[in-house]
Amino acid sequence: MRSLALSFTILAGLAGAPVLAQTGVPVTPQGVPPGANPATGARPGNNIGTGMSLPMGTRASNIDAADTRSVIAPNLPSPPLDRNASAADFLRAAQTALQANRTGEAQQSLEMAQTRLLDRSVPMGQTNNPSDNPAVTQVSQALRALAAGDRAQTMQMIQAAIPAAMASTQ
């Protein structure tokens, strides 16, 4: 009797899981939002694998709650660098973009620099330990300053992060 009750409880839980997982976004019978390509799930204007997706944006946004204007972060322009460029190269690109008031490109460059800096080897079991690289902290501070619209502080943090990024790759 006890195993029957347990089996029923598990079955009821599994049957109810899809209901709990729904996000309120309507989906077609294929399981994709209306207007999306049924085969890929891509929304109109999103070309999978090309880096081109909507909405496009040119201004920094969605860095933190203060500068989030949409639940969908815009696709920002990438800096004119090879995708395998170093963190320091991306920081210099952020500096150039910010000087030209291209805040979206500056944000994208900062995020790409931070990704390069966070790419590291750690011992097994220590993957949840945050990076102690000072350049990572400086890029985070630059992004917060960019979100606040403080271009001077953003530039200062980028300038401080460049030597730290160069030192971390040696």
Q: How far apart are CA 16 and CA 166, in angstroms?
A: 52
Query: pLDDT-based confidence at 46, cuts 50/70/90?
Result: low
Q: Exposed/middle/buried for 141, CB within 10 Å: 0-12, 13-18, 19+?
A: middle
Q: Exposed/middle/buried for 7, CB within 10 Å: 0-12, 13-18, 19+?
A: exposed
Query: pLDDT-based confidence at 124, cuts 50/70/90?
Result: confident
Going by C-beta distance under 8 Å and a sequence separation of 6 or more, which residues neighbour residue 143?
A: 63, 107, 110, 111, 114
Quick one: average pLDDT of 85-95?
96
Q: How far apart are CA 111 and CA 108, in angstroms?
A: 5
Q: Please list the alpha-helical segments (H only) found in the chain.
A: 2-21, 87-99, 103-118, 134-147, 151-168
pLDDT exceeds cutoff 60 at 140: yes
pLDDT exceeds cutoff 70 at 113: yes
- The structural domains of the chain, with segments of one domain joined by +, span 65-120+131-168
What is the CB neighbour count within 10 angstroms for residue 168? 19
Q: Please list the alpha-helical segments (H only) found in 22-102.
A: 87-99
Q: Exposed/middle/buried for 163, CB within 10 Å: 0-12, 13-18, 19+?
A: middle
- State percent of the chain over pLDDT 70: 65
Q: How far apart are CA 153 and CA 102, in angstroms?
A: 16
Q: What are the tokens at 51?
A: 């880096």
Residues 98/158, Cβ–Cβ less than 8 Å: yes
65-120+131-168: what fold?
A: Four Helix Bundle (Hemerythrin (Met), subunit A) (1.20.120)
